[in-house]
Structure 1
């Protein structure tokens, strides 16, 4: 088991230890260098006031193992991208939360998690005006280099995701389901495909988790937790978006709202937030002014190379269908891997040789060329990815880092 897999498995062990929850995972994970170190030292949790004696004994007795092993095998089978707590791309902003996730699952470009983000949320049953507001705001902020984070629901969320994909900042969709549950919300396949191609989809929930109502407050805390500030675009008084706004305030994030027309009930929740102290915003410039204290000038100038700019790489698979272009002689020279393949041991050596011979390949092709089952190849590639030897592209394509 690679170090990434070991750490991931330890994170699952913490999640499934009886008596532990989001507010007790954090202190344990922050106390030790790694989740694995924390799990090995479970005998001392109670004396260190990290957990109850009962939870400490449950961890020592490995009461977590059946559920952890089940989720581990399923995530490997489904070839999820995995970011355990100690992964370099696991967001520091989430580590600051009182109730952080132990790990994140993803499809898409995880480097977007390193980019400054603004959350845009609002009504599922939004009107034309609210959708126009969300689209314009998301597009303008994304063009400024900010990543737009939202909850992949119908209405305002979907408008924000779609518009943000046109800018360099792109978008992060936070699910209230398992990463593999692609039937929710209904009729969202087109948007899911677009986000997978050039954005990021994440979830903290186990594979197969259905869209239960109890999941969405947990999702909402990640939307606000990942963001420098949260904008509520259109929301009634009872809207769940106000929960996200409340969580943002509790997490120390900037809370903003768009006012909407006077007397419009669909914006009553926004007006309530403004009366309670949320910043009134109408344009991307208003948002930037309110979050400027949390950004470097380069972050909002559009001059800095942000993570989103690298999303163009997967498009190369479609070059054959594009119009002819002058050929760059340098492209005829074989790419040189950033490491010595011959210094590797099997099975990493076999995977690297397959990629060197075939170039960017799908996981199925890599497994076939290297002579492994897909599940085994996926586990090996995860370790190579975290060690900087392999680059992952959307759609489960991989190549050697050169």
Structure 2
């Protein structure tokens, strides 16, 4: 426990996030002024009282140590539960969230993120799904799983649970994003499913403090993380007021593809899906409609070998087989640059040398790492695998 409390910057970061009445903009401004979360917590009360939107109670909690103490206890409780608390500055932060405009400030994680999780597709839909909707969600998740593509969903009844289960049955990974804290599982009947996911098959995540109960405000926030973690979102079945439509909107706002599975014209649980199609979502007739539309996904699925499960567990193809992995022209440009410097190259230097924009470059680097031809080094540097 003492080692947790010794990490004052991590505790301080969580303390600022957990402080009521202090929004994200206020936290960013405070850290920008004082250089770190620890600097904020050490600042004189008089300096913090103006211009940052802090209420009197919030200000007292910060300077009086109550916020820090609450955050320290949260870390200790997470340790007992086997939950990791990640921030954007952590090496384990999901690559898909690094350039997202809707990423959370913190993630509670049970299980593990894997580099291959970058190549994931969200499958969402109605809690009160029909047999048709369940079959469609299961089929899509299963076929994607056979290609090594992970799924992301919300562990809810209906479509979500079917997608998670189909991915697991296909030997693939899956990520469950909850609308409550990880101290409890909601719905409770999916506890065993959540445990199976977290036990080496994916991760169960939330942005909410451990004891946060689910409510009508937490689920829309949860939905944006589902969209942010995925390369695309598939709505398998949804009525015209389904929360799955919120996920689709977040995905579209992020510039990501939205796919929709058409249903019977008389089915109320397909009304929302049909509205999405009329608004420009791509109709799904088969899994190839999804994979072929996304260059990253097509490249990943095409490179996955029959030893996919071993890759997912170990993090890439063998060194002996790396030279046989097909590379896109952009990937070859990156690899050529890395081969010039055996000690590693920073992302900024790679961006300048290759002319590939940061967002696209991050995705390409993840793909190359998974293919086993490059290695990530400390300090966000990369090197060719042969040089490591």
Give TM-score, length-normalised by structure 1. Answer: 0.66
Distance 1:176 1:34, change over 3 A: farther
The 8 Å contact of residues 22 and 100 in structure 1, kept in 2 or not, is answered as no
Aligned residue in 2 for 1:102: 105
Output the CA distance in 2 between the equivalents of 1:67 and 1:253: 37
Q: Distance in 2 between matches of 1:4 and 1:307?
A: 40
| Distance (Å, rounded) in 1 between the aligned partners of 2:33 and 2:113 | 24
Contact kept, 8 Å, 2:235 with 2:244, in 1: the verdict is yes
Match of 2:143 among 140, 145, 163: 140
Q: Is 1:79 aligned to residue 87 of structure 2?
A: no
User: 2:133 and 2:233 mapped to 1: Cα distance?
Assistant: 16
- Which residue in 2 is equivalent to 1:300? 301
Counterpart residue number, 2:246 = 243
- Measured in 2, the distance between the counterparts of 1:28 and 1:142 equals 44
The match for 1:194 among 169, 177, 196 is 196
- Preserved contact between residue 120 and residue 231 of structure 1 (Cα < 8 Å): yes
In 2: Cα distance, 1:300 partner to 1:117 partner: 11
Is 1:123 equivalent to 2:132 in the alignment?
no
CA contact (8 A) 1:225 1:248 kept: yes
Task: Go from structure 1 to structure 2 and tell me whether the alpha carbon gap of 1:141 and 1:40 turns closer, same or farther (over 3 Å shift).
Answer: same
| Pairing of 1:133-172 with structure 2 (within 5 A) | 133-167=136-170, 169-172=172-175
User: Are the counterparts in 1 of residues 4 and 72 from structure 2 also a CA contact under 8 Å?
Assistant: no
Which residue of 2 is the match for residue 10 of structure 1? 12
The answer as to whether partners of 1:149 and 1:174 remain within 8 angstroms in 2 is yes
SS class of match (2:233): strand
Residue aligning to 1:373: none
| Aligned-partner SS, 1:187 | helix
* Paired position in structure 1 for 2:96: 93
CA-atom RMSD, angstroms? 3.5
**Contact 2:117–2:150 under 8 Å retained in 1:** no
Matched, 1:211 2:214: yes
Out of 267, 270, 273, the residue aligned to residue 267 of structure 1 is 270
Q: Distance in 2 between matches of 1:254 and 1:217?
A: 19
Q: CA deviation at 1:220?
A: 0.6
CA gap of 1:28–1:228, structure 2 versus 1, over 3 A, is: farther
CA contact (8 A) 1:112 1:147 kept: no
The one of the two structures with greater contact order (alpha-carbon pairs below 8 A, sep at least 6) is 1
Tell whether the 8 Å contact from 1:134 to 1:233 is kept in structure 2 after alignment: yes
User: What is the CA–CA distance in structure 1 between the aligned matches of 2:307 and 2:85, rounded to whole Å?
Assistant: 22
Give the match's secondary structure for 2:237.
Answer: coil
Q: Which residue of 2 is the match for residue 174 of structure 1? A: 177
* Alpha-carbon separation, structure 1, partners of 2:306 and 2:87: 26
Native 8 Å contact 2:147 2:301 kept in 1: yes
TM-score by length of 2: 0.68
1:21 pairs with one of 20, 23, 36? 23
Contact 2:153 2:175 in 1 (8 A): yes
Give the SS at the match of 1:290: coil
Of the structure 1 ranges 113-122 and 302-311, higher mean CA displacement relative to structure 2 is found in 302-311
